[in-house]
Amino acid sequence: MNRILVTGGAGFLGSHLCERLLARGDDVLCVDNFFTGDKRNVTHLLQHPHFELMRHDVTFPLYVEVERIFNLACPASPIHYQHDPVQTTKTSVHGAINMLGLAKRVKARILQASTSEVYGDPEVHPQPESYWGRVNPIGMRSCYDEGKRCAETLFFDYHRQHRLEIKVVRIFNTYGPRMHPNDGRVVSNFIVQALRGHDITIYGDGSQTRSFCYVDDLIEAMLRMMDTPADFPGPINIGNPGEFTMLELAEKVLHLTNSRSKLVFQPLPADDPKQRQPDISLAKERIDWEPKVALGDGLTETITYFRKLLAE
């Protein structure tokens, strides 16, 4: 049994990760400050003998004894991370420093949940890990993009300077049950609007593309990456290379929800990427992973979740 710390453990991804770790027999310490995390995401785990929940903000040091750390703490949707951009940067940077310091003290292996946002609005398509990105350092999204880029820098400097065992995964668009209904992400936006019978808001002309990975596939990749040999720190892309336009996604959601909502178009937000698609060649090679869940199947599960949530 491994003693594992999951920061941001009550969030969308963190709660699914905690579940998987418990299911395989690990002892899990879930840490969250509940800014975007929700206790309801982990309520069903509270009675588990190997699960512990702690309210804590990673911008402050944490003194615990663990063997592995998954650092997922950070608001990940534009609505939430732009609400308090200074705190968002602090969470990425100070949070990384504090978790790396903890990992160094207890000699733990640590995984950083980085993001495809490190590539910015890319000039290379699809994006391989070797691409350095095209990011606006002073834009509205910079608190998240540059915060995550700085966190990666810190991880690799701790790896080189202190020989810390690190793993870095770059997460592309992920969706599934337990997404926040008001997080402003395109999948949750479209589903909630369709279920409520509201107009579906499409920014730009709807031709911009994204790749959507179901949460179960993503968690499987994170677990596999954590278990790779120490000499492979990453970074590694995790995402679904299947590419869809916003119009295609909206039409799929309308079909699956049987909604009569209409499509309305709004101006594209600043620095919003036109394309985003992972090159997952490295993931296939090093962790023998590629996504299995088709978009239609994943959307059906997600719609079922939101239908129940809205009914409550």
Average pLDDT for residues 261-268, to the nearest whole number?
91
- What pLDDT is stored for residue 80 in this prediction? 76
**What is the token pair recorded at 16?**
């699914």
Is 28 inside a domain boundary?
Answer: yes
Is 166 inside a domain boundary?
Answer: yes
Per-residue pLDDT of 207-251, as tens digits, reads 888 889 999 999 999 999 999 999 999 999 999 999 899 999 999
Per-residue pLDDT of 57-94, as tens digits, reads 999 999 999 999 999 999 877 777 788 899 999 999 99
Average pLDDT for residues 156-182, to the nearest whole number?
96
The 3-state DSSP class for residue 55 equals strand
Is 204 inside a domain boundary?
Answer: no
Asked if residue 271 has pLDDT above 70, the reply is: no
Burial state string for 144-155 with b = 16 or more CB within 10 A and e = fewer than 16 = bbbbbbbbbebb
CA distances to 25, 116, 165 from 37, in Å: 24, 21, 27
Average pLDDT of the chain to the nearest whole number: 94
Rounded to whole angstroms, the Cα distance separating 74 from 118 reads 14
Residues known to be catalytic:
144
CATH number, domain with residue 280:
3.40.50.720
Worst-scoring range by mean pLDDT, 17-26, 211-220, 247-256, 263-272? Answer: 263-272
Identify the band that residue 204 occupies on the pLDDT scale cut at 50, 70 and 90: confident
Worst-scoring range by mean pLDDT, 42-46, 53-57, 262-266, 275-279? Answer: 275-279
Rounded to whole angstroms, the Cα distance separating 138 from 136 reads 6
Asked if residue 172 has pLDDT above 90, the reply is: yes
Pairing mode of beta strands 243-245, 209-211: antiparallel
DSSP secondary structure, 108-130, as one string: -EEEEEEEGGGGBS-SSSSBPTT
Asked if residue 156 has pLDDT above 90, the reply is: yes
Instruction: Give the residue among 148, 61, 144 at the shortest CA–CA distance from 100.
Output: 61
pTM (two decimals):
0.94
Is 96 inside a domain boundary?
Answer: yes
Worst-scoring range by mean pLDDT, 66-80, 92-106, 112-126, 269-283? Answer: 269-283
Asked if residue 182 has pLDDT above 90, the reply is: no
Is 201 inside a domain boundary?
Answer: no
Cβ–Cβ contacts within 10 Å for residue 72, how many? 27
Domain count, the chain: 1
Is 263 inside a domain boundary?
Answer: no
Is 24 inside a domain boundary?
Answer: yes
- What pLDDT is stored for residue 115 in this prediction? 95
Is 310 inside a domain boundary?
Answer: no
Provide CB contacts within 8 A for 113, sequence distance 6+: 8, 13, 70, 71, 72, 74, 169, 171, 222
Q: Which domain holds residue 218?
A: 3-176+213-241+275-292
- What pLDDT is stored for residue 185 in this prediction? 86
Identify the band that residue 176 occupies on the pLDDT scale cut at 50, 70 and 90: very high
